[in-house]
Structure 1
Amino acid sequence: MIDRLHYISQSSSELSHLEAIEQVLNAGGKWIQLRVKDQTEPEVLNLAKAANELCKKFAARLVINDFPDVSKAVFAHGLHLGLNDMNIIKARLITGNKIMIGGTANTFADIQKRVAEGADYIGLGPYRFTDTKQNLSPILGLKGYAEIMEQVKKSGIHLPIIAIGGITPEDLPELLKTGLYGVAVSGALTGKSDARERIKSMYAELEKHPVYHTLNP
């Protein structure tokens, strides 16, 4: 099952990716995406091995951003591909069918493309400006999500769609009214001393909203 709350790793001058991931796991995070954009594939592989061991310790699931060979090598639960990364069909030839693959989308056309490629879930965004990502796609805002999710429902698409991009716990009540399956956060949890309370409150809010999408195993 795809968790409804995703954490996307980020490092800072105070925290490494692994330290940030461990803090979120300690606070109750269950779905971790290792997103490293400034290191080589061998370096990412070493980080992924360590992150996977941490996730196993906490019975959490690890998703690797952008590196299909790494996700396969560490037996990660999943792989996430951005709009400018390898397409899902080609990545599936590398990973096989045992690894769940998610893809980023910014428009309804992107969602249709991801569905055609065989994505298991979609990360739709960004909601607002975020400095964790370069070359940011156009901001969607609440209105953008509402319009796209209406198109999703009318078209009969039943993939889990996750909101992403600058999301805070306070955004969830209105965002989830659009029919989104869940949310992905990064800065809202990284290095936060109250991360446990934030995660608990976000899960509580998610439970208030029925799931429109068909769940994948």
Structure 2
Amino acid sequence: MNKYIGRLHFVTFQNTEIPIEQQVQEYCAGGGNWVQLRLKNKTEEEIISIALKCQRICMEHNATFIINDYVDIAKKIDADGVHLGLNDCSVSEARKQLGEHKIIGATANTFEHIQQHVSEGVDYIGLGPFRFTQTKENLSPVLDFKGYMDIVSKCYTNKTDIPIIAIGGITTEDIMPLYNTGIYGIALSSYIAKSKNIGLTTIDILSEIGKGQSVNFTKKKK
């Protein structure tokens, strides 16, 4: 089953004055079509309440809506899928709960992580962190450009064909160099959520991603 995987993943950000629902609304208004709801230190009731509001916005904009970590909540509200961290349940366990038709993404920091997730039927990989970020606690080792180049090269050599989304402290200036490593897409959180104009920032990022895709396509054609 071929599933659509977006090129720009927006991971919602809690530590800002802008409510999460507003972040999602402005991001989608700017052309974003993939939202990952990430909430920490909230009750299940609070998470579901926010999730339903964000899900409604995504539906209005035909955007994919993913829940971070909480497989049970993703199932309960019929989200499009779930993203699993390194310390969450396995991809295979999430697949049993959600079924084949739902999207399951998983975090990786090494090629071995990717191999394990792929063997269990993951749909995409969030590979990172690219650089140090305060968005997430207990960071795995930073990869930088060389780390992405090495891991993507191993995927190619081993015929491991899976969309790889770069994440962790990425800015607009990093997008073209990251695409040169062979990644599929980009995930951003605070860079979008804390910008002065989320919609315009999203438009700019999507433009850079388009340029990155174009350069890679031209290289492959030669």
TM-score, normalised to structure 2's length?
A: 0.90
Closer/same/farther in 2, CA of residues 22 and 158 from structure 1, 3 Å limit: same
Q: Does 1:61 align with 2:64?
A: yes
| Corresponding residue to 2:136 among 115, 133, 137 | 133
Is the CA contact (8 Å cut-off) linking 1:169 and 1:202 kept in structure 2?
yes
Query: 2: CA distance between counterparts of 1:137 and 1:39?
Result: 24
Please state how far the C-alpha of 1:174 moved relative to its aligned partner.
Answer: 0.3
| Corresponding residue to 1:95 among 91, 95, 98 | 98
Is the CA contact (8 Å cut-off) linking 2:9 and 2:36 kept in structure 1?
yes
Query: 1: CA distance between counterparts of 2:29 and 2:130?
Result: 27
- Structure 1 range deviating more: 195-204 or 29-38: 195-204
Q: Does 1:42 align with 2:45?
A: yes
Please state how far the C-alpha of 1:13 moved relative to its aligned partner.
Answer: 4.4
Residue correspondence of structure 1 range 190-201 to structure 2 within 5 A: 190-201=193-204
Residue correspondence of structure 1 range 86-165 to structure 2 within 5 A: 86-165=89-168
| Corresponding residue to 1:181 among 177, 184, 190 | 184
Which string of whole-angstrom CA distances, capped at 9 and with x for unpartnered residues, describes residues 66-104 of structure 1? 011111122211110000001111111111122100000
Partner-residue secondary structure (3-state), 1:134: coil
Number of the residue aligned with 1:4: 7
Query: 2: CA distance between counterparts of 1:200 and 1:23?
Result: 11
Query: 1: CA distance between counterparts of 2:174 and 2:90?
Result: 30
Question: Could you say what the CA RMSD is over the residues aligned between the two structures, in angstroms?
Answer: 1.6
Q: Does 1:32 align with 2:35?
A: yes
Q: Which structure dedicates a bigger proportion of its chain to helix?
A: 2
Number of the residue aligned with 1:207: 210
Query: 2: CA distance between counterparts of 1:8 and 1:87?
Result: 21
Count of residue pairs the alignment pairs up: 212
Is the CA contact (8 Å cut-off) linking 1:41 and 1:67 kept in structure 2?
no
Query: 2: CA distance between counterparts of 1:177 and 1:169?
Result: 14
What letter matches 2:23 in structure 1? Answer: A
Which string of whole-angstrom CA distances, capped at 9 and with x for unpartnered residues, describes residues 100-123 of structure 1? 000000001111111111100000
| Corresponding residue to 1:15 among 11, 15, 18 | 18
Is the CA contact (8 Å cut-off) linking 1:27 and 1:199 kept in structure 2?
yes
Is the CA contact (8 Å cut-off) linking 1:169 and 1:198 kept in structure 2?
no
TM-score, normalised to structure 1's length?
A: 0.92
Query: 2: CA distance between counterparts of 1:131 and 1:209?
Result: 26
Structure 2 regions of 5+ residues with no counterpart? 218-222
Partner-residue secondary structure (3-state), 2:134: coil
Please state how far the C-alpha of 1:210 moved relative to its aligned partner.
Answer: 4.3
Partner-residue secondary structure (3-state), 2:192: coil
Number of the residue aligned with 1:79: 82
Identity rate of aligned residues, in percent?
41
Please state how far the C-alpha of 1:49 moved relative to its aligned partner.
Answer: 1.1
Please state how far the C-alpha of 1:200 moved relative to its aligned partner.
Answer: 2.3
Q: Does 1:166 align with 2:185?
A: no
Partner-residue secondary structure (3-state), 1:188: helix
Query: 1: CA distance between counterparts of 2:177 and 2:42?
Result: 36
